[in-house]
Amino acid sequence: MSSVVATTAVRGRFLDIQNTVAQAREIHDQVRYVEDGLLISQNGKIQWFGSWQEGQQHLPVGVEVQHYLEQLIVPGFIDTHIHFPQTEMVGAYGEQLLEWLNTYTFPTELQFSDKAYADQIAQFFVQELLKNGTTTALVFCTVHTESVDALFEAAGQHQMRLIAGKVMMDRHAPEDLCDTPDSAYADSKALIEKWHGKGRNLYAITPRFAPTSTPEQLAKAGQLKAEYPDVYVHTHLSENKNEIAWVKDLFPEQQGYLDVYHHFGLTGSHSVFAHCVHLEDAEWDCMHQTDSAIAFCPTSNLFLGSGLFPLNKTWEKQVKVGLGTDIGAGTSFNQLQTLNEAYKV
């Protein structure tokens, strides 16, 4: 009897994605719409999905069907770039990226050395994602290992799929928010061993962005990626014009911003670069050749006045792109609201 109790059946209108843009040219080959469908799941896993007409024969005896014929049922949303420690600072007033980081972001993130505080925000964060229909997210923590433990523990309680990592940052930030190349390597390695592939958790090596890591630290990040090829890489790229000029000053030997990451072995099919508003042509080519992906963060790009992301370029250059809320420079946890702004851009 217990399997019957754990079985749910939902009848309604369903929409899902069957192929990526790369796999199918026409929209109706990518998206499936079932006007009157049935989804049967057991212990939280889908057992059968298809039309109501065909599906009735698969219904176990005694299972009550829940009817949602007026609603549209879609798969959980995937947020490709979000900062959980910035949950409380959405809407910090009136600055562009570099001033915003120093004035609001770094002071906020200092609080996450306190595990109890990190736990409290992590719980709220995970619930806020679920409330908005997001079931998978690629998440920045802070430099503190406590923040990563807090987040993965909260995610596990809610069966969420999170990909997250400890920020690596050893310069141009308050001393208490800085690690070193060696400690960033050792802490990240220990966190990979502890969390990557445990339950639904996955790890992302997370250098904050090129200006806050020395070349020595980026080399350590690359070493980690070589040792653990199936972990993700998650960082920021070409968000703001002053940021880009700063990177060119800091890394004169490299050919541009993306080349800094590429040089240290941080591009690839598991690498996600947030923003990419001002990429140069050679960088678009490198993104394509390395199969790296972009997190498009429209509310954040608008809020910080970073610029308008050239979405058409991703199709022209065949570069993978996903949607990111980028809380707390972004202004909503809600992916539909974020898509609304993406459309206007």
- The residue ranges that bind ligand GUN (CB under 6 A) are 83, 97, 101, 105, 208-209, 236, 239, 300, 326, 329
Q: What is the C-alpha to C-alpha distance for residues 290 and 40, in angstroms, rounded to an integer?
A: 39
Q: Which residue number, 47 or 332, has a Cβ lying nearer to ligand GUN?
A: 332
Burial class (CB in 10 A: 0-12, 13-18, 19+), 233: buried
Residue 209, binding choice from ligand GUN, Zn ion, none, Cβ under 5 to 8 Å by partner class:
ligand GUN
Q: What is the DSSP letter of 284?
A: H
Of 274 and 321, CB closest to Zn ion = 274
Query: What does 146 interact with, of ligand GUN, Zn ion, none (CB < 5 to 8 A by kind)?
Result: none
What's the closest the beta carbon of residue 272 comes to Zn ion, in angstroms? 11
Of 91-99, 196-204, 207-215, 318-326, the window that binds Zn ion (rule: CB under 5 A) is 318-326
Nearer to ligand GUN, 9 or 325 (CB): 325
122 by DSSP, 3-state: which? Answer: helix
**Strand 77-83 versus strand 320-323 pairing type:** unpaired
Task: Give me the least distance between CB of 209 and ligand GUN, in Å please.
Answer: 4
Q: Is 38 or 237 the residue whose CB approaches ligand GUN more closely?
A: 237
In contact, 300 and 328? CB cutoff 8 Å = no
- Is the CB of 75 or the CB of 107 nearer to ligand GUN? 107
Quickly list H helices, the chain.
2-5, 27-30, 52-55, 97-100, 106-109, 115-131, 145-157, 181-195, 215-227, 241-250, 257-263, 281-290, 298-303, 311-316, 335-344
CB of 292 to ligand GUN, least distance (A): 17
Nearer to Zn ion, 11 or 270 (CB): 270
Minimal distance, residue 330 CB to ligand GUN, in Å: 8
By C-alpha distance, which of 207, 223, 206 is closest to 138?
Answer: 206
- One-letter identity of residue 195: W
* Nearest approach, Cβ of residue 92 and ligand GUN (Å): 11
Residues within the interface to Zn ion (CB under 5 A): 274, 326
